[in-house]
Amino acid sequence: MQGGTSAKAQPFSEHVRELRRRLIYVVATLFLGSIVGYAIHGSLFRLIKRPLREQLYYTTPLGGFNAMIKISILFGLIITVPVFIYQLGKFLGPAFRHRIRPPRIVFFSIILAAAGVLFAYFVGLPASLHFLANVDSQDLQSIITVNEYLNFVAAYSAGFAILFQLPLILLFINRIKPQKPGRLMRIQRWVVLFSFIVAAILTPTPDPINQIIMALPIILLYQFSIALIWFVNRREKRFVVEPVLIAPTPASVPSSLPQAPTAVSARKPQLIMDIIGVSQTSP
């Protein structure tokens, strides 16, 4: 891995400056994404309001403006998630066993974040709104404010966008310290318990339906992560070059006879030295 030695030799102040520089990139992305979100806040608001299909209200003079700001920041947060993952991978790069490829990280993170937002929009929000509409008392009339509804949507969208990064996070952990799929399978019961605890904390409503809706993707993503780690580890093992022991040529065999190719010349110098060292120590 290139850069690993130089990264270890850097003083602590260099790591702090690098961390600050990457945090600046994340904050700048959030700022620019929020500006873009403000420019298209009208279209975003109609898209966000579609699952509700009711009139929204605001009760303060600044309610409409606050709603536009929230929509803009929500859009900026969704855009920032892949950039944050990218900068985190670059900062932790020296700790990985193999060189990472940031473009692939960003692409994979964007797919996961988009899948999380789409799941929240098409599954989580409709189910939650349907449940809340059915538990209303017949003697009460609901007046949903725009700020409360946006907070509800933001909690779902941001929560699922982050939760769907679980496969990428586990791949990072596997790069730092290889994980055995069998061991990950044995702790599934704790993952299920943890999923429902996280769902109970993140869901904006206390009903069990929303908790199941948020916990189920975590469990399924964990299963997908185990399969992905198994595939990555198996693929990397194919490229591990095992040392080859070269048997000494018998003295009775003339040196003029052609010898079987050993394919040592095609290997790296370090591997050749390892082979020579082994042959020297062999009896």
Q: Which of 142-151, 166-175, 273-282 has the lowest mean pLDDT?
A: 273-282
Looking at residue 275, what is its pLDDT?
40
Statement: residue 238 has pLDDT above 60: no
Statement: residue 255 has pLDDT above 60: no
Domain positions in the chain are 4-238
Higher pLDDT, 222 or 137: 222
Q: What is the rounded radius of gyration, in angstroms, for the C-alpha atoms of the chain?
A: 27
| d(C-alpha 267, C-alpha 251), whole Å | 26
Looking at residue 9, what is its pLDDT?
55
Looking at residue 256, what is its pLDDT?
53
Q: What is the pLDDT of residues 37-54, one digit of tens each?
A: 999 999 999 998 888 878
Looking at residue 164, what is its pLDDT?
87
The residue-averaged pLDDT of 161-185 equals 82
Structure pTM?
Answer: 0.63
Statement: residue 242 has pLDDT above 90: no
Confidence of residue 234 (pLDDT cuts 50, 70, 90): confident
Alpha helix (H) residue ranges in the chain: 4-9, 12-39, 41-49, 63-91, 102-119, 125-134, 146-163, 166-176, 181-186, 188-202, 208-238, 269-281
Average pLDDT of every residue of the chain: 75
Q: What is the pLDDT of residues 102-155, one digit of tens each?
A: 667 778 888 888 888 888 888 878 877 877 776 655 667 778 888 888 888 887
**At a CB cut-off of 8 Å and minimum separation 6, what does 32 contact?**
76
